[in-house]
Amino acid sequence: MTSIRLTEALVDSLFTEEDADDGRAILSQLPVRVLRAETGRVFSAALVSVGALSIEIEMDDSGRINTWCTHDSRSACAHAAAALYALAESEQPFGVGGVGRGARQRPDGEPWERALRGLISPSEDLDDADPPGAIALLFDVRKSAGGDPAGAGIAIRPAVRGSRGSAGNWIRSGIGWRAVAESTNPDAGWRALADIAGLFEGRHNFPAAAERIRRGPGGYEQSWGLPDWIRLDATPSPGLWDALLAAHDAGVEFVADSSAQRVVGMEQESREAVVDLRVSGERLWVEARIRDLDEGFTLLPIGAPTAALAMVSDGEVDAILPLSRPATTGWDALFSKGHLSVPATRIADFANDYLPGLREVAPLVSSDESFDVPAAPRPELVLALANAGPVARLYWEWEYEPGARRDRAAERELIQAVERAAGRWAPLLRRRRADPLFPAVDLDRDQTVEFLAHVLPAIREVEGLRIEAHDEVPALEFATEAPQISFGVSPSGEDWFELEIVVTIQGEPVSSSKLIRALSRGQTYFRLLSGTVFPLVDENFARLRDVLTEAKALRDDPPDKPSIPRYQFDLWYELAEIGVLDAQHTRWLDAMRALGDDAVTPVEAPASFRATLRDYQQAGYSWLDFLRRHRLGGILADDMGLGKTVQILAALEHARLDEPGARFLVVTPTSVVGHWLAEAERFAPELPVVGLTSTSTKRGTSVAEAAEGASLIVTSYAILRLDAEQFRELGVRVLVLDEAQNVKNSSSKGYAAAALVGAPTVFAVSGTPLENNLMELYALASLATPGLLGTRESFREQYSKAISKDGNSRRLEVLRQRIRPFLLRRTKEQVAPELPPKTVQVLEVPLHPTHMRAYERRFRREQQKLLGLLDDVKKNQIQILASLTRLRREALDPAFGDAADLPGVTSAKLTALADLLDEITADGHRALVFSQFTDFLGRAAEVAEKKGLRFSYLDGSTTARARSRMVERFTNGEDPAFFISLKAGGTGLNLTAADYVILLDPWWNPAAEEQAIDRAHRIGQDKPVMVYRLISAGTIEQKVRDLQEKKRRLFDDVLSGDVTSTLTSDDYRELLS
């Protein structure tokens, strides 16, 4: 690799002659230091200070040099030229390609190295006189124009070391307050001086500084901006001392502005500003002084108001003395006058009329004890306690002796004494922590109890506090016996019970409505009419409060009339453990406990049922029968292919025998109606069944007329939606929602139609009770178990948002426990170990190079378009999904995008499919081929056609009759390949003749893909199943596959682990990354 070194000649070539000459001039006049220089093989960087400016320099292996200068918007400025000349002349060579010592690949290093370099200041060489960017502060004593000592003050300005380096003095040229204020130098000393400049520049916003400027003599004040010298007596004091101290600690030298440049010291011990009263020569002398400070210095103020003083001798500043607290403006005014004298004949008037007010200026002392300084009158704090009943009000006020002036320091001391006595209950004395004690504080019920019990007895002993009670203060007595709790229950609408709470305390009855309100308000204490107090933090009351809170979230009842749905077993269990339930509900709860404990008594299938149930199917049938007998519903969520239909039919046949004349309704996708009718005839031939596949209008008969004589009615979701009112009038006893994900949207018309049926028992049947988000589970549960999960709004806030977005594991566990008795799910791995294995292989298919370039162009266009829409996903979701769909289609086949017309560019996936079909069919195997895009599925089928391979093809346009013929041909082995659209054939088909499944493209929802795979991998399969997932390498399909994993966990983790969210703006950004 060729090395390139930065030389003076190379720098000459980079600049105009004017900029190069200016750069050399700056180099000779200002201090220029190389702060950092790092060289590498392909990239080098340096940081150079030029006076108060910082120059960043980068050089790459092509010889290109970039500079950034904080002074000029142009990159090639004279300051940059000076920096480059200094870098070229430095002892350490600078360049790329191995130039210099310690060269490395890239000076920036890894991210953690760059971060640490930004946190840690560059180390200083102890042999150097100054650190990089060294700066000093010059102090000058300024006198007023007329010689009035009141106009004298201290002025400061920055300075840098002269060109002779450590041997040179501090000089003013090349540095000023504006340069400091705008500097990007990270040194702490520079930042502290920039703070001082900022304070001075904003001085007119500080009243004390503005007043001092107004009163000061002319000749030194500049109205706005930053002059060469800053007057410290006109600089606002808030933050000034801290900035001076920070600058000094950071190594900024404080020196006098003289030829000797004597160092200005910083006194460590602060002193107090006082007013000294001395009697001498028949007069009283009043003087602003510093307590215990030796004479011999002239003192000049620093800050407005004065926060420190400059100690001046021989016309130069010797040291800076901080005050323990900033002086008042009154002390400043007295200090500027020097002193006042009061004739002996007026000392009494002074003491009566002026001395009380003078206490507010500063502490009063008599340094020679010639004047007797009287003690300040102490204030008295009065607490007026009004209405010490359920709630109390505290009135606070101060009282002074007549003629006394307010002493805020004494007030603070008394307030602190009261708060110390109150201890941890001190916050009760204020409305908010930042409030003063007065004028009034309203206490709530709990606070009133705590105040009367804990605070009032403690503060009575505080000296200076007087308590006045407007009403009789009650004596509180805390209960010593545990409360007795029992419950009464009465019906409150369908599936709900109103709760009555009966409590007695030490034999005294408690108003249940008041107790419920107290618990609902979250009160800590409850006061009986007798004055007895008992804490509601007792474990049983805490549990009762949780029950009431949960009940409130489920249904917004009046606070004193809570209701609980009968599905809320956990709440009923809580009530039984807290207190005593009546006998009837205790027996009912014992039966329900069996359901929660998975201890349902097995029930034999009726003799009229013509199927032998497997063990897990027998358990599922018994569970369904238990729910039906207790007028309950549930969600049957077994894995696809485990025989959910046969379990439902067994339960319905048993229901027919239990309840002669009862009607049952099964609602299913249109394509599966025939399957249900066939299965009912096969397994329950004595169960009268009718299928309704058209609307009453098209049929010409009502639903009731069409269902005459039938116990079981099977229809589609579309027919249910259109004839909803007529189905409601049937009086259905059991409603079965097959493939219930069809009503997963609780805002849809299909959901509303299912809810309108009004069956006392609803079974939602779905292998995927939630596919995308928890609100889908809520929709199914609200149909099958109304009230179990509360209102949609409360569920969204308490569960969906808390779990999916906030990762609240406690709420996740509560949800799992709540739905567990009513959701039955068994996987194939659990109940069918004899099922042959399923192997899934992901095939990453590289695109044709021309196709890949076209895809990347499309990706960049869509990415640019979409990133601006992601701040409002809900509003822009249609546009976002449309763009993502275009990207997914472009990744499938060049025919769907920009490469459509390019010769010789083919779909890599179709080529891979052709190879797979050759291999599969050559050995006599059969394959299912799925795609969600029907046009791509058609192009895939053309691959088989060109090979002369017999196949079947099924999409949404295929009729039910044609569908049955295709399934039969594939099952019989006539067609070794079956091309199926994911939407049309992902459910309701039994295709165990296939032992290969090919997924041509990934779908957002992994459950849909799993359903498709389970067309082959299900009960009845006797061969191992091989699944190929084709993914276009380097495209959005890889991101979709990652997103599938998140959604797969959403389903699994609600039942057993942590939950992740559905598509969010962050998911979309990841897809576009």
Do 150 and 336 contact (CB within 8 A), yes or no? Answer: yes
Instruction: Give me the residue label for tokens 């474990």.
Output: 539
pLDDT of 219 reads 39
User: Is the entire prediction scored with pTM above 0.85?
Assistant: no
In a domain, 298, yes or no: yes
Q: Clarify whether residues 626 and 481 are in a common domain.
A: no
> What are 280's strand-pairing partners?
283
Question: Which of 534, 523, 528 has its CA nearest to residue 446?
Answer: 523
In a domain, 922, yes or no: yes
In a domain, 375, yes or no: no
**Within its chain, how far is the Cα of 440 from the centroid?**
38
CA separation for the pair 67, 981 (Å, rounded): 59
pLDDT of 340 reads 92
DSSP track, 895-957:
GGSTTTT-TT---HHHHHHHHHHHHHHHTT--EEEEES-HHHHHHHHHHHHHTT--EEEE-TT
In 426-464, DSSP assigns E strands to 440-442
| CATH number assigned to the domain comprising residue 784 | 3.40.50.10810
Do 289 and 309 contact (CB within 8 A), yes or no? Answer: no
Q: How wide is the angle at C-alpha 651 spanned by C-alphas 650 and 655, nearest 5°?
A: 120
**Cis status, amide bond into 217, omega within 30 of 0:** no
DSSP track, 696-748:
HHHHTS-HHHHTTT-SEEEEEHHHHHHTHHHHHTT--SEEEEETGGGG--TTS
Sheet holding 838-845, edge to edge: 838-845, 1025-1032, 996-999, 927-931, 977-981, 951-954
Q: Clarify whether residues 202 and 342 are in a common domain.
A: no
In a domain, 371, yes or no: no
Model confidence pLDDT, tens digit, residues 696-734: 999 999 999 999 999 999 999 999 999 999 999 999 999
Question: Which of 551, 505, 549 has its CA nearest to residue 526?
Answer: 505
pLDDT of 601 reads 84
In a domain, 372, yes or no: no
Q: Clarify whether residues 93 and 146 are in a common domain.
A: no
Among 595, 614, 639, which residue terminates a domain? 595
CA separation for the pair 847, 547 (Å, rounded): 59
CA separation for the pair 919, 643 (Å, rounded): 33
CA dihedral in degrees (115, 117, 120, 124; nearest 10)? Answer: 180
Do 275 and 350 contact (CB within 8 A), yes or no? Answer: no
CA separation for the pair 771, 624 (Å, rounded): 23
Q: Which two tokens stand for residue 136?
A: 């000093």
Q: Clarify whether residues 152 and 225 are in a common domain.
A: yes
Gyration radius of the chain over CA positions: 44
In a domain, 1015, yes or no: yes
Ramachandran angles phi, psi of 605, nearest 5°: -65, 145
What's the number of domains the chain is made of? 7
Segments in the chain below pLDDT 50? 73-75, 100-107, 121-132, 145-147, 165-167, 217-224, 1056-1063
DSSP track, 373-434:
-PPPPPPEEEEEEE--SSS-EEEEEEE--TTPPP-HHHHHHHHHHHHHHHGGGGGGGSSSTT
CA separation for the pair 190, 178 (Å, rounded): 12
CA dihedral in degrees (569, 574, 579, 581; nearest 10)? Answer: 0
Q: Which two tokens stand for residue 333?
A: 């005014």
Q: Residue 628: which region, alpha, beta or left (left: phi > 0; alpha: psi -120 to 50)? A: alpha
Coil vs helix vs strand at 461:
coil
| 862: Cβ contacts below 8 Å, ≥ 6 apart | 883, 884, 886, 887, 1072
For residue 685, what is the enclosing H or E element? none
Question: Which of 624, 592, 569, 623 has its CA nearest to residue 734?
Answer: 624
pLDDT of 464 reads 92
Q: Clarify whether residues 324 and 411 are in a common domain.
A: no
Question: Which of 1056, 1040, 1036 has its CA nearest to residue 1008?
Answer: 1040
Among 303, 336, 365, which residue terminates a domain? 365
Look up the domain containing 995 and give its range: 838-1071
Rounded-to-5 percentages of helix, strand, coil across the chain: 40, 20, 35
Model confidence pLDDT, tens digit, residues 738-777: 999 899 888 899 999 999 999 999 999 998 887 778 888 8
Q: Clarify whether residues 107 and 142 are in a common domain.
A: no
Q: Clarify whether residues 642 and 769 are in a common domain.
A: yes
Q: Clarify whether residues 651 and 607 are in a common domain.
A: yes
pLDDT of 265 reads 93
In a domain, 1054, yes or no: yes
Q: Which two tokens stand for residue 646?
A: 């046969």
In a domain, 800, yes or no: yes
Do 770 and 815 contact (CB within 8 A), yes or no? Answer: no
CA separation for the pair 966, 926 (Å, rounded): 14
Instruction: Give me the residue label for tokens 């005459």.
Output: 708
For residue 125, what is the enclosing H or E element? none
Q: Clarify whether residues 58 and 31 are in a common domain.
A: yes
Q: Which two tokens stand for residue 29?
A: 């006049």
DSSP track, 582-646:
-HHHHHHHHHHHHHHTT-PPP-PPPTT---PPPHHHHHHHHHHHHHHHTT--EEE-PPTTS-HHH
Question: Which of 943, 932, 900 has its CA nearest to residue 1000?
Answer: 932
pLDDT of 492 reads 60
CA separation for the pair 650, 658 (Å, rounded): 12
Q: Clarify whether residues 191 and 46 are in a common domain.
A: no
Q: Clarify whether residues 160 and 107 are in a common domain.
A: no
Among 419, 449, 467, which residue terminates a domain? 467
DSSP conformation class of 56: E
Q: Clarify whether residues 777 and 910 are in a common domain.
A: no
For residue 871, count CB atoms less than 10 angstroms from its CB and return exposed for 0-12, middle for 13-18, buried for 19 or more. exposed
Q: Which two tokens stand for residue 950?
A: 């017999």
